[in-house]
Structure 1
Amino acid sequence: MFDFWQGAEGLPVYGYMIRATIVYFYIFFIVKVLGQRSMSSIDALDFIFGVVIGDILGEPLTDGELPLAGPVGAAAMTAGLHLGLSVLALRAPRFRRIIEDEPVILMRHGKILHKELKKAKITLEAFLMDLRLNNANDLSEVDYAILEMNGSISVIKKSNYESVTLNDLDKNVPSKGYTSVLIEDGHIIEANVKKFGTLDWLRDQVQQKGFANVKEIFVMTIDETGNIYVSPK
């Protein structure tokens, strides 16, 4: 009866399906416990965790003779170590430098630091590509280029080439704030609607936008200034 957990020779198809379901929700639970930080950027610690977890829990999904208890326990131990190191890095700055690389300045005051590029094992072509991806095609506009701990390169342009803001023009514009989804794929998100009005108010907005009902709308959002965006199906 519990062959899917203990493992058995010639494990039936439904046993693999049960295992896959268990592993899927188990990894989902681990990720939720560790927090979104592990998903936002992949640094060395997160990369190791992803590889090890995948290897531990991947094998029992293909080999039905292996018991599931061992890999599940090993995965929990790995997740605990990962969480422990992350917490320790937050509380101990000196230890943080061991597991997290410090940012490396690759370009300072418009000058490319060749030695730093060489240390980081980044070719000039790859460096220029990253600058282009940061909308910095003209090297004369770049003040700093920094290799971040997750491997991406951030660019700080010289002040003369920064985009002009409304604050620079002495114009006060109300903040649009957070955008909330009112309708998604023809379904009303009532929790969000209640923040701005009633369902009758929403239906009036839908009609004002030229739609007969919410079923015709793929997505409808509103920001904190009351600006509404609608995309039809």
Structure 2
Amino acid sequence: MFDFWQGAEGLSISGFLIRAGIVYIYIFLLIKVLGQRSMTTMNPIDFLFGVIIGDVVGEPLSDGELPLAGPLSAAAFIAGIHLFLSYIALKTPRFRRIIEDEPIILMEKGIILHKEMSKAKVTVESLMMDLRLNNSIDLTEVDYAVLESNGQISAIKKSKYDSLTPDDVNKEIADKGYPTVLIQDGHYIDANIEKVKSRKWVDEQIQLHGFNHVKEIFLMTLDGAGKVYLSKKNPSM
């Protein structure tokens, strides 16, 4: 009666169909628990999770003699590890840099960086294809091209090629460049701060925007035009 669960030699078609339904619902629930992040991005940890889960739960669907309890338990355990690592990465910026690649700048101020292209193993053809997908067909309009941690290439156009607003008319537009992260998750990113400003300047900006301490800031960036972006940290985080 429960051959679909325990496995049996010569499992019937109906047994395989029941197994397929169980596995589908089970994986659906795992994804709901893990959140949309595992579906929208393909960081190394997400790719590893997808490959292992597919192999673990896929075998019982092709071999009717295998019981379902073991593979489903293993899938739940792997999902637990994945969720734990994702949580640690969210809370610990240093650990996040281990499991998630840092963005790589492939074009800077309109110039293609050959060494970075070689390091990222990105061909010119791939770069141009992704720029076309970003509606950046004309390379002379591109200020920065960045290989993101999920493998996609994003493009930042030069300010003079952005759509104008009424405030921009008859005004000289400064290139905004590539935003630099100065504060993340309530922590100074000293390596970035040293490149553009100083901790004293960052603290002054925090005060000017109505905050008292770096721990109150979730994200602070500074672009090439000197524009500061600040996002308050949720107290529950």
Does TM, normalized by the shorter one, top 0.5? yes
The residue that corresponds to 1:138 in the other structure is: 138
Q: What is aligned with 1:69? A: 69
Question: For 2:9 and 2:21, how far apart are their aligned partners in 1?
Answer: 20
Q: Deviations over 1:15-68 (max 9, x none)?
A: 111111110100000000000111112221111111111111111011000010
1:192 — aligned with what? none
Superposed, 1:121-132 pairs within 5 Å as: 121-132=121-132
- For 2:6, the aligned partner's letter is Q
One-letter amino acid of the structure 1 residue matched with residue 161 of structure 2: Y
**Partner-residue secondary structure (3-state), 1:64:** coil
1:17 aligns with 2:50: no
Task: Report how many aligned residue pairs link the two structures.
Answer: 169
Task: Tell me the CA shift for residue 138 of structure 1.
Answer: 1.5
Match of 2:162 in 1: 162
Counterpart-to-counterpart distance in 1, 2:116 and 2:165: 33
Shift of 1:133: 1.4
Does 1:102 pair with 2:91? no
Q: 1:108 Cα shift?
A: 0.6
- Counterpart for residue 58 of structure 1: 58
Q: Give the match for residue 119 of structure 2.
A: 119
Partner of 2:89: 89
Q: CA deviation at 1:166?
A: 5.9
CA distance in 2, matches of 1:165, 1:15: 63
SS of the residue 1:146 aligns to: strand
Q: 2:147 is matched with which residue?
A: 147
What residue is the counterpart of 1:220 in the other structure?
Answer: none
Displacement of 1:12: 1.2
Q: What do residues 156-184 of structure 1 show as CA deviations (whole Å, max 9, x unaligned)?
A: 01110112246647xxxxxxxxxxxxxxx
TM-score, length-scaled by structure 2: 0.69
Instruction: Work out the CA distance in 1 between the residues paired with 2:167 and 2:27.
Output: 46
2:143 counterpart letter in structure 1: D
Cα pair distance change 1:13/1:117, threshold 3 Å: same
How far apart are the structure 2 equivalents of 1:24 and 1:129? 35
Higher CA-based Rg = 1
Distance in 1 (alpha carbons) for counterparts of 2:80 and 2:163: 44
Match in the other structure for 1:226: none
Distance across 2 between alignment mates of 1:112 and 1:74: 46
Structure 1: where are the runs of 5+ without partners?
Answer: 170-233
SS of corresponding position for 1:53 = helix
Please identify, of 37-46 and 97-106, the stretch whose mean Cα deviation from structure 2 is larger: 37-46
2:84 aligned counterpart, secondary structure: helix
Question: Could you tell which deviates more after superposition, 34-43 or 92-101?
Answer: 34-43
Equivalence for 1:222: none
CA distance in 2, matches of 1:34, 1:132: 33
Distance (Å, rounded) in 2 between the aligned partners of 1:128 and 1:20: 41
Change (3 A) 1:65 1:163: same
Aligned-pair distance for 1:87?
A: 0.3
Segment drifting more, 83-92 vs 124-133: 124-133
